[in-house]
Amino acid sequence: MENIFINGYSCICNIGDNIEEIFKNLINLNDGFLKKREDIIKGSSLYFGTVNTKLPYIKDERYNLRCNRLLLHCLFQIEDKIKEIIQKYDKRKIGIIIGTTNSGINEFEISNNIFHTEISNPAGFLKNYLNLKGIYLGTSSACTSGIKALIEAVNLINKGIMDCAITGGADALSYMPSYGFNSLELLSDKKAIPFSKNRNGINLSEGAALFILEKEKCDDSFIIKGFGETTDAYHFSTPDPCGYEAARAMNLALNLADLTPDKIDYINLHGTGTISNDLAEANAIKKVFQNNIKLSSTKGLTGHALGASSAIESAFCLSLLDKKVNKNNFLLPHKFDNIYDDNLPLINLVKKGDKKENINYVMNNAIGFGGTNASIIFGR
């Protein structure tokens, strides 16, 4: 695979509105940003992760969606780099690819504007906001949407269809998916504790992340080293408990990167805190890495931002590699009650304060409804 570089990234979620603040809260295991809310599921008090930062307003009513306002916040963080690529490339050769599942479904309930429900709305917003003339598209593959957007951007750049891509993911808390997850009895009235014997579900959340992808590298570039995509074909909402296809996604990423499992320094797990997800992922990890890899789920702090989750967690992975952010070579710790589920294969969860002398390659995993699996490897 021809090298594709990440030359800028940004993020917002419930634990911070920039990557430095987010990283600080991650390594300090600050779960105080998950709050009980009674206004989303009628008659229930459940934990959610909400972005409380004041977000920019969008004048065009077609695009004034919360998920787009989250994206615009991310755009402002890397505005200088965005201006550079617009000056460098033909506007017809800069593509926009954004992963989402909710788009503007909350706004649609009030507006009845069908445009608000389009999966491509966030990508279309950025294209129009930046006055670009190239491809724009949305990826929607449940929880793998953010990684899929990155993969699609790499593929289109390598095929020469675009010279540069602005890609990532965005989702806002919405009533309809919240009620859907609640009907499946997956939402928790406690803060999520993935891989614990006491785990009992997920905390939904919101956020966004953006990345600038180019063939040329700069002084602070990161590299997309490899990726893998598979499908279980097992069940609509439950992953294959054996984790065969999730393991195959990781192996495909390793093979494309030309790396052996021992070269990966850390894995950010999908780790939702549901009984079935954690079983499938632990089995998949065991097949590929045995118990020889440091890993964690960050969803015990951030909650699960659905279509944006794997984009947000890709930004977390880059923060580990970013020497300006991770000055002390910390690994991202796993929020835990220290009661591991002995029905799961044992995996090596990162503890608060754990470090690694050199962090060169990190993997991000996502497992979603419909049996979709995706893994991506980032490097310095």
Domains of the chain, start order: 4-197+202-214 (3.40.47.10), 225-379 (3.40.47.10)
- State the catalytic residues: 143, 270, 304
The position carrying tokens 């020469």 is 160
- The number of beta carbons lying within 10 Å of the beta carbon of residue 42 is 9
pLDDT at 328: 96
> Rounded CA gap, 291 and 295, in Å?
10
pLDDT category at 23 given cuts 50, 70, 90 is very high
pLDDT at 202: 95
Whether residue 237 is predicted with pLDDT greater than 80 in this model: the reply is no
Hey, CA dihedral for 244, 250, 253, 259, is it positive or negative? negative
The answer to whether 95 touches 153, Cβ cutoff 8 Å, is yes
Question: What is the mean predicted confidence (pLDDT) over 88-100?
Answer: 97
pLDDT at 369: 84
Question: What is the mean predicted confidence (pLDDT) over 66-83?
Answer: 97
Whether residue 366 is predicted with pLDDT greater than 90 in this model: the reply is yes
The answer to whether 217 touches 25, Cβ cutoff 8 Å, is no
Question: What is the mean predicted confidence (pLDDT) over 330-358?
Answer: 96
Coil, strand or helix at 115: helix
pLDDT category at 81 given cuts 50, 70, 90 is very high
The position carrying tokens 């930004």 is 315
Question: What tokens does 373 get?
Answer: 């699996």
pLDDT digits 0-9 by tens, 186-222: 999 999 999 999 999 999 999 999 999 999 998 889 9
Going by C-beta distance under 8 Å and a sequence separation of 6 or more, which residues neighbour residue 209? 9, 10, 11, 12, 74, 146, 168, 169, 170, 308, 311, 312, 314, 315
- Specify the higher pLDDT residue, 33 or 218: 33
pLDDT category at 379 given cuts 50, 70, 90 is very high
pLDDT category at 246 given cuts 50, 70, 90 is very high
The answer to whether 276 touches 241, Cβ cutoff 8 Å, is yes
pLDDT at 236: 76
pLDDT category at 370 given cuts 50, 70, 90 is confident
pLDDT at 220: 87
pLDDT at 312: 98
Whether residue 148 is predicted with pLDDT greater than 90 in this model: the reply is yes
pLDDT category at 1 given cuts 50, 70, 90 is confident
Question: What are the phi and psi torsion angles at 93 (to 5°)?
Answer: -115, 15
Question: What is the mean predicted confidence (pLDDT) over 65-76?
Answer: 98
pTM above 0.95, yes or no: yes
DSSP string, 6-18: EEEEEEEETTBSS
What mean pLDDT is reported for the chain? 95
Exposure string (b/e) for 146-171, b if CB count within 10 Å is 16 or more? bbbbbbbbbebbeeeebbbbbbbbbb
